[in-house]
Amino acid sequence: MSRRRKFHLYLTIVTLSTGFLVATSFETNKLTRKERMNDQLFQQETQLNDRILAEKEQNRHLENQLLDLQRQVGKVEEAMAERKSEAAETLSQLDAARMLAGVVAVAGPGIVITMQDSQNAANSADIANYIVHEQDVRLVVNELRAAGAEAISINGQRVVSNSEIRCIGPTIIVNGIKSAAPFVVTAIGNPDTLDSALNLPGGVLHSLQDFVQISVAKKERVELPAFVGDAKTKHS
Amino acid sequence: MLQKSRKITFILAIISAIIGVMLTVQLRSSLHPVHKESRSIAELRTTLQKELEKHKNLLADISKYNQLYYQYETSLSEDESISVMKEELARTRRMAGMVGMEGEGIVIDVVDAHTSEQPAMDEHMPVPVVGDYTIDDEDLRWLVNILFANGAQAVSINGHRLIATTAIRNVGDVIQIDTRTIRAPYEIKALGEPEVLLSALKLEGVEENFQLANKKVLAEKRDKLMISANNETRVIQFMKPVKEKGDS
């Protein structure tokens, strides 16, 4: 009886280990196959990532180059303006036009508005109420314009005369460039005027802040980037 | 007796083998969760594409400024360089919307669905409210946003050219564009590729949306369309061009 018990015990151990072995080899096999596939994807991903990084680096260089060039042009123009009053007059008009067209980076006092979906959007019955829509961003931008904002950018994209503001899913598209939440609207203008325009009773902030996260910060100096790609837009 | 104990052994063996397999699988899958990497690839591709596009735009801008610089440097007299500057001014003003533009595009008329066509009504009449809704500022903003998203170069509403700082908002019962009041019927002109703009209007359901407000949307293509300049004069008080990089 005791021998048989022993035998049973051994048998149990042996079969248990066999089961382990079989399953392990099977799993490993499957895993290596998956890993190989993952590896391929991973390689592809790293390649893409590398290219994006390289491209970004290059774009930064080009941006600097463009800024340098603009500065050089600016110097030549200023030198001309110093020599001749007619040139000075034209230059001041040119500077104003460039700023309004959005083709130069500008800085000045202003306001920064950050909009984000409400944290408890997922828990509420009507989710659509608690996420930031494109019309909300447009509403804020429109209010800023009405309050005399001189220049506006959204997530680093300068808003120019033919800019669009669109949302697709959780991303926003301005000037054809996609970026993710939070949506940061930056405007140059009188900070107090802009702030109070947004804070009017029954105004934009009041109607939005019950639903989405929105914060307003007055700033002594904000910097807006230039709109890139004006050369491609065809103007008849 | 022997028969029975064999049976038990056999069953025991099978059960323990199964338990072994189950244990291993469980351990395996909880120790090494399989990562999914493929989702981000499509996203990365779009990012790359956007960067490439930016690259192209930057190059175009650089060549433009290079050309300008070259023109300044090679101009023989001061008068010549001033005329170069004036040319640049004219180009920039066009971009800022301070100059009228001409080209192909579309004209969209938003008219009352009931009244027979009399577009030129008395301008000082208040807007008759038809149906439950009226066209409000967001409707117009939505409409022009669709136009811009589909490549419109310039848009004007009832003759008011929209620029980067133009606000469209309800003031009382009427809609104001900047400081000017506009009244129905609305006429929106857009420069751009007519087919693209017209199909965008269809795709986005502009007609259906405006129908709720009892308005008819009549859009038609024009080969030659003139959009006037924005003639609001703006005094720039707050912004200054950034001349130095990293100057903050």
Q: Which stretches within A84-119 are classed as H helix?
A: 85-101
DSSP type of residue B181 = E
Query: Exposed, middle or buried: residue A186 (CB in 10 Å: 0-12, 13-18, 19+)?
Result: buried
Interface contact B67, partner A, CB < 8 A: no
B49: nearest CA partner in chain A: A52
Reported pTM:
0.74
A151 in Cβ contact with B164 (< 8 Å):
yes
Cβ within 8 Å, pair A58-B55: yes
C-alpha angle B70/B75/B79, rounded to 5°? 135
Cβ contacts of B21 on chain A, cutoff 8 Å: 19-20, 22-23
Interface contact B237, partner A, CB < 8 A: yes
Summary mean pLDDT of chain B: 81
3-state secondary structure of B98: coil
pLDDT in tens, B118-157: 444 555 555 554 445 677 888 899 999 999 988 888 999 9
Residues B58, A63: Cα–Cα separation, whole Å: 7
A88: nearest CA partner in chain B: B82
pLDDT in tens, B168-211: 988 878 888 888 888 878 899 999 999 999 999 999 888 888 88
By Cβ distance, the residue of B40, B149, B167 closest to A45 is B40
B64: nearest CA partner in chain A: A231
Cβ contacts of B87 on chain A, cutoff 8 Å: none
Cβ within 8 Å, pair A107-B248: yes
Ranked by mean pLDDT, which of A174-183, A224-233, B33-42, B239-248 comes out on top?
Answer: A174-183
Cβ within 8 Å, pair B237-A190: yes
Interface contact B48, partner A, CB < 8 A: yes
Tell me, what's the pLDDT at A70? 87
Tell me, what's the pLDDT at B242? 82
DSSP type of residue B165 = T
Tell me, what's the pLDDT at A234? 45
Chain A / chain B CB contacts < 8 angstroms:
296
Cβ within 8 Å, pair B78-A69: no
By Cβ distance, the residue of B48, B65, B153 closest to A73 is B65
Residues A203, B31: Cα–Cα separation, whole Å: 54
Q: Which residues, including other chains, have CB under 8 Å from residue B208's CB and lie 6 or more apart?
A: none
Interface contact A100, partner B, CB < 8 A: yes
Cβ contacts of B63 on chain A, cutoff 8 Å: 231
Residues B91, A130: Cα–Cα separation, whole Å: 43
pLDDT band at residue B248, thresholds of 50, 70 and 90? very low
pLDDT in tens, chain A (236 residues): 577 788 888 888 888 888 888 888 887 887 777 777 778 878 888 888 888 899 989 988 998 888 888 888 888 888 888 888 888 888 888 888 889 888 888 999 999 999 888 877 677 777 777 888 888 899 999 999 999 899 999 998 899 888 889 888 788 888 888 888 789 999 999 999 999 998 888 788 888 888 888 889 999 999 998 888 765 454 43
ipTM of the prediction greater than 0.85, yes or no: no
For range B225-232, the mean pLDDT: 86
Please state whether beta strands B240-241 and A106-116 pair in parallel, antiparallel, or not at all (unpaired): antiparallel
Query: Is residue B107's pLDDT more than 90?
Result: yes
Residues of chain B numbered 154-213 and touching chain A (CB < 8 Å): 154-155, 162-169, 191
Residues B96, B163: Cα–Cα separation, whole Å: 7
The tokens describing A213, both together, are 């996260």
Interface contact A123, partner B, CB < 8 A: no
Chain center to CA of B144: 9
3-state secondary structure of B172: coil
Q: Which stretches within B136-193 are classed as H helix?
A: 137-149
Cβ contacts of B155 on chain A, cutoff 8 Å: 162
For range B55-80, the mean pLDDT: 86
For chain B, the maximum distance between any two Cα atoms, rounded to a whole number of angstroms, is 121
Cβ within 8 Å, pair A106-B239: yes
The tokens describing B141, both together, are 């903003």
A162 in Cβ contact with B152 (< 8 Å):
yes
Interface contact B93, partner A, CB < 8 A: yes
Tell me, what's the pLDDT at B233? 77
